Structure 1
Amino acid sequence: MKGKEKPPIPKYHYKLVTVSGSLEAGRMETALREQLGGSCLTFFTICHQTGSCDVMGDSGSNPLEGAALRNAKAVAAEIKKA
């Protein structure tokens, strides 16, 4: 290879909550966007063969601070309870 290789850009993904299926995951993502839309997080879901889905938060190349991550998980837990 010619030139300098750029170091990989870290990506920070956080599991916020696990739900029972893709429909619930979709509702969870929508609710998280409404409540945490200004928090520099984007949301996506990883579904497993077991049927459960992990709703994830992606903060790009900037790690979340402890308090921000705890807040996002707490909001997700409250939404799941509702």
Structure 2
Amino acid sequence: MKIVDSDASVYVNFVIQTREGPRYCAQMDARRRRNRNALLRMALESGRTVMLISGINSYVRTAVIGMDPHMLASDSGLH
């Protein structure tokens, strides 16, 4: 896991590597999503399980933190 942050940029980029090896990049507007950014940073830096769901241009839309990877969350609850 690597967090790429710059004072010159509005966006924070997260480079995340899965257990299987592939790396993925996601970005988030840290100024507009301060709480989400803080929670995601704490989770990643402490080694917790994180699942990111992104939209267009790899922009982070949802972050699920500390959930058993065998469970799936949806609007109707955990499955």
More helix by share: 1
More strand by share: 2
| TM-score after normalising by structure 2 | 0.29
| TM-score after normalising by structure 1 | 0.28
**Larger RCO: 1 or 2 (CA < 8 Å, sep 6+):** 1
